[in-house]
Amino acid sequence: MKRRTSALVGTLLLLGSAVAYAHERFIKHDLKHPLDPHFFIQGPVGFLGVNPNIWRVAINLSVILSAFFIIWFFRQPITEVVLFRLLGMLRGKSQSTLHALACFLTDRPVRRRWFATVGEWMVLLFMRSPGLVLMYSASNDSLVMPSFPLDPTSAAFFKFAQVGLALLILTQTLLPLCGALILGTYIYLNRWGVMVAVDAMPVVSVAVLYLASPWSSHKVAITGITKGQMVWLRRVLGFGFFMLGWFKIYNHNLTAGVADNYPSSLNDPLLGLFTIGTDVKHYARECWIISFAMAEIMSGFLVTIGVFNRVQCSLMAFTFIKLMVVDFGWEEIPHIYPIGGMLAVIFSNKLSSEFEPLEKIEERLGRQGKTVLRYVFVFGVSLGLSALILFPPLYVLSFFNRYGL
């Protein structure tokens, strides 16, 4: 079963590797104020023809991303110093609480009963969230997402089909069939263009869990996710957001249109960290687009490789809940998919990391007393990986004129 699930998800990831629209298309995104036509494309100013403000945002992000990597490599000794040296005078409940917090932040198992209980609730939410979205879509003449309207000639069929599928999901009945139907729906959504693939990847992550469930799912209390399933859930969610970030830059007019209709979204203190040193006086919206996209790229990449899963998923879950509840309203209800997945990751004690082989090298160098080589390895990998992930794609994107999108 594990091999079949892994093979299936691998195939789905290939299907989901196509270009994607940004998820903001669910809401008003008409561009009210034009962007600078030369900011995002090759020009005579800037290193390699890329606008200096874009490079500055990328440098700011690469510093933050490198810091995440370095702290991840040294998280164990840092935790020991904090717990046993700086706060060694604490005893009893205070020390236990601090230790649980350290475990949470470093993706280690949190041995608390309430944490395990909440984790079970989050799995239930994630497994049933598609039913809520399908019900809402059926009542609004759309297919899965409000941005995919149904053809009037076949609307009745698809509306009843969605309601029936939603009932199966909400009652946890015939989940493998539900997974197959959701996968078929995901493929059908490509009638709107292959660019929907990455945007719909959270649906795929739910389908994978359904397909791995027993046919007698209505008789079984599914309140947990195996370690293998968690790996693929993390990869699918993270890769989806990683790609969405890049296509926020590629389809910058759509992203700017969201800001024009919801100007409060421009005032984000976290994104302000990425725009330090940029010319926000003349390129406020342009720099916001780059920083907004970069934040999603960073979080998506870290979740994909399993570095600070809980921290990144907590930040993303907060952002998406705010978008759905405060900023955009019911039209953002498809965000229940990724929110449920993020919450399942946050409260899971079966997290892993793709960095484990690199961590073993770093640990071996430490045991051998090669301190200098150990630090060179850690800083080299951290800086090199962050630069490789960010700078080449930005340079390539500068050759595409996307103002006709």
Token pair 């991840």 is found at 72
Residue 102 has pLDDT above 80, yes or no: yes
Residue 15 has pLDDT above 60, yes or no: no
| Ordered DSSP codes for 210-233 | HHTS-TTGGGS------HHHHHHH
Note down the domain range covering 90: 2-397
Residue 4 is predicted with a pLDDT of 44
Number of structural domains in the chain: 1
Alpha-carbon distance of 119 to 223, in angstroms, equals 8
Alpha-carbon distance of 257 to 405, in angstroms, equals 12
Residue 139 has pLDDT above 90, yes or no: no
Residue 209 has pLDDT above 70, yes or no: yes
The residue among 187, 159, 157, 130 whose CA lies nearest residue 16 is 187
Alpha-carbon distance of 134 to 376, in angstroms, equals 51
Token pair 């990683």 is found at 242
Confirm if 217 and 175 have CB atoms less than 8 A apart: yes
pLDDT tens figures, 35-87 = 777 888 888 877 888 888 889 999 999 999 999 999 999 888 887 777 776 66
Please report, rounded to a whole number, the percentage of residues in the chain having pLDDT higher than 90.
16
Residue 13 is predicted with a pLDDT of 34
Token readout for 310 is 């809980």
Residue 8 has pLDDT above 50, yes or no: no
Residue 1 is predicted with a pLDDT of 46
Confirm if 27 and 261 have CB atoms less than 8 A apart: yes
**Is residue 189 domain-resident?**
yes
Higher pLDDT, 256 or 219: 219
Token readout for 222 is 């599914």
**Is residue 404 domain-resident?**
no
Largest Cα–Cα distance in the chain?
72
**Is residue 403 domain-resident?**
no
pLDDT bracket for residue 190 (50, 70, 90): low
Confirm if 290 and 319 have CB atoms less than 8 A apart: no
Higher pLDDT, 42 or 106: 106
pTM above 0.95, yes or no: no
**Is residue 402 domain-resident?**
no
**Is residue 374 domain-resident?**
yes
**Is residue 405 domain-resident?**
no
- 3-state SS assignment for residue 398: coil
Residue 31 has pLDDT above 50, yes or no: yes
Residue 11 is predicted with a pLDDT of 35
Residue 346 is predicted with a pLDDT of 93
Please report, rounded to a whole number, the percentage of residues in the chain having pLDDT higher than 70.
78
The highest-confidence range among 23-37, 98-112, 124-138, 145-159, by mean pLDDT, is 98-112
**CA dihedral sign, ordered 311, 382, 295, 11:** negative
pLDDT bracket for residue 310 (50, 70, 90): very high
